[in-house]
Chain A
């Protein structure tokens, strides 16, 4: 199974450890992982700002890079959702194949690789942040608004990690306020939303906040650092891959 690793631009630049963990995890489960070297960004920042028509260059570049793999996997629900919903290309067949074969990491592990056990150990108390685009867009977990059976792909994976104690905030799936460019154009609301999520997590006396979207975590991390909190953020890939030597050292 040939998997194309899609590393969103801000992960590539600021959170390489997330991409490394994703790559190593996939390889651990026997995937042949390729990292197309010309990839940049999915185009979401432009599209969510109202300029989807400016994302053509990104779309073309994306298709050019990811043609020929069986699956595309990425450690970001938001970017995956964007590609799924909005990727356009003159070669409609190629674009459709990509839209149908792009997966967020946790859904790929559960739905495609059907992972039942993990060799991971992470002896910490961890709060789960549910990112909206993964949850409500990609259906990674059940949603508190709907009358439907409960499930969660990220939680299922975290339950396989030895030593990990998982907690949830009071409002289990409220948005953290990142929202792409919203985080600067509506700075006050964005930060207030993030602060409120953090207060609920801190009430559970956790050491880490994890989630399947680095963008939300980056926003929460910015607020945590500013207030000098001991709580750290960590992407779910890093926890699931945590039996290997982690690249945390470089980050701190």
Chain B
């Protein structure tokens, strides 16, 4: 079994492997890692081409950021305004404090309506709440209709990317999966052929479905409506075909006004894939005749994050995944190495809020290069928050104790110039005299890198030598 297979299994069985170990397993297949890196870099490149066509890009980001800052500062009022207008529109509104409440509400609606065929378009919130496994336990099978999500669902894997759920897979993998589940021709790896097979398969699911679950990209307080964006058209196929439509949204999806959609829709697809806009931007306000429309508004830790001044602006996120695509670590470690529904840099600042202990590794899975912050269309200071989460996690005791001991020792030496000079001199002497002490397997630097040469003189020694006469005076 390859390391990669092992990695998949670990992911599937929810045995969380810390990011560094999972990343090492991922990189074990270097050719695939290179492909993953190049493919996502290409998406970043397409984003660059798209945004450079708009001279006003940076002002747009600023505008979006300010709208979101404003919204968060008035969140309770906008939620109430949204609820009131949605109710007037004939939409039923539900509130879920956490993942369990969210799942219970949906199960209840499924039971009340006597439904057994459910389709779902992409919703990272339902992933975060682990809705599918929950419903499956209750005997309800949910069919994910986004192509990428359907692929990973067949494989019993979580999505590895919030916009491109199956980006960790090659077409050969998809071909094999479809051969097993849809009876496609073995070895036919043509994406066109495979997509067509999924189209036929899912058309039947849409036509038969009784209940459709969708996510929400934006919910507009002043109108009580919500917008769902897809390229495939699967959210609409589901929502318009089924007798019951349930839209699930985190409380942070609210924007105040319809005019603000102009700002966000201009940013979203360009940031995500480099498209000028998604193929479908669907605006739902009222159920169609004879249809039930429900909105589930979910907190699940978001108000807690709102109360953390250093981290609250992570709630501005519009889930474009631009930070994934630009992140040199994400591209070389794959989404599953983040062992959470939302991976990548944004996931690394959102998930510690959900569970500090389980996700303490994530803020360290970054070089703090800052590229994520620069591509973010709503100007979340992602890399600064990664740094700040490290402080919180260390403070709360979620960092490896041995690391803390090492850091304490280092801090002590560096705070005492004489000790520092002695240690430096000794260190360099040891490296020259007994290189094997440093150049060994226990030294992670040395595993794939040579140590720097150890000069006899430090700069300080040289400086003192050079200035011995003048300094004496």
Which residue numbers of A lie inside 8 Å of B, CB to CB?
A: 7, 9, 11-16, 19-20, 23, 35, 37-41, 43, 45-58, 60-61, 132-133, 136-137, 143-148, 171, 173-175, 177-180, 182-194, 196, 218-219, 221-223, 225-226, 250-251
Contact = CB atoms under 8 A, between A and B. Distances in A.
B459 A223 contact: no
> Which 5 pairs from chain A and chain B are nearest by CB?
A57-B415, A179-B367, A222-B449, A50-B394, A145-B374
25 contacts: A9-B420, A14-B455, A37-B417, A37-B463, A51-B407, A51-B408, A132-B370, A136-B369, A136-B370, A137-B370, A145-B374, A147-B55, A173-B371, A179-B366, A185-B20, A185-B403, A187-B448, A190-B367, A191-B449, A192-B30, A193-B329, A193-B332, A222-B449, A226-B449, A226-B450
B412 A57 contact: yes
A7 to B, nearest CB: 5
A40 B368 CA distance: 23
B390 to A, nearest CB: 4
A45 B406 CA distance: 11
B452 interface: yes
B51 interface: yes
A125 B263 CA distance: 45
Interface of B: 19-20, 23-24, 27, 30, 33-34, 37, 41, 48, 51-52, 54-55, 57-58, 326, 328-329, 332-333, 364-371, 373-375, 387, 390-395, 399, 403-404, 407-408, 410-417, 420, 424, 427-428, 444-445, 447-455, 457-464
A20 B462 contact: yes
A51 B374 contact: no
A189 B329 contact: yes
A13 B455 CA distance: 7
Contacts of A51: 391, 394, 404, 407-408, 411
Contacts of A55: 411
Contacts of B392: 50
Contacts of A192: 27, 30, 33, 332
A227 B246 CA distance: 57
B366 A40 contact: no
Nearest to A60: B415
A147 B459 contact: no
Given A7-B460, A55-B411, 12 more contacts: A16-B458, A54-B408, A174-B371, A175-B367, A182-B366, A184-B445, A185-B364, A186-B19, A193-B329, A194-B449, A222-B450, A223-B449
Contact of B368 (A7, A48, A53, A183): A48
Contacts of A136: 369-371, 373-374
A234 to B, nearest CB: 13
A144 B369 CA distance: 13
A184 B444 contact: yes
B58 A146 contact: yes
A218 B453 CA distance: 10
B329 A39 contact: no
A188 B23 contact: yes
Nearest to A13: B424
Nearest to B389: A50
B213 to A, nearest CB: 34
A16 B460 CA distance: 8
A16 B449 CA distance: 21
Contacts of B424: 9, 12-13
A251 B367 contact: no
A218 to B, nearest CB: 5
A45 B420 CA distance: 14
Contacts of B365: 186, 189
B369 A222 contact: no
Contacts of B417: 37-40, 61
A50 B455 CA distance: 31
Contacts of B450: 221-222, 225-226
Nearest to A173: B371
Contacts of B399: 49-50
Contact of A41 (B373, B395, B420): B420
Contacts of A56: 415
Contacts of A54: 407-408, 411
Nearest to A188: B24
Given A179-B366, A226-B449, A46 B407 contact: yes
B157 to A, nearest CB: 21
Contacts of A58: 411, 414-415
B48 A145 contact: yes
Nearest to A132: B369
Contact of B463 (A35, A41, A191, A226): A35
B459 A187 contact: no
A204 B154 CA distance: 44
Contacts of A143: 371, 374
Nearest to A179: B367
A46 B39 CA distance: 35
Contacts of B453: 14, 251
B369 A175 contact: yes
Contact of B369 (A52, A60, A179, A250): A179
Contacts of A35: 460, 463
Given A13-B427, A147-B52, A186-B20, A193 B328 contact: yes
Nearest to A220: B449
Given A57-B411, A191-B448, A222-B449, A146 B54 contact: no
A147 B455 contact: no
A218 B452 contact: yes
Most buried by B among A57, A147, A194: A147
B332 to A, nearest CB: 5
Contacts of A38: 417
Contacts of A182: 364, 366-368
B423 to A, nearest CB: 9
Contacts of B404: 51
A194 B367 CA distance: 12
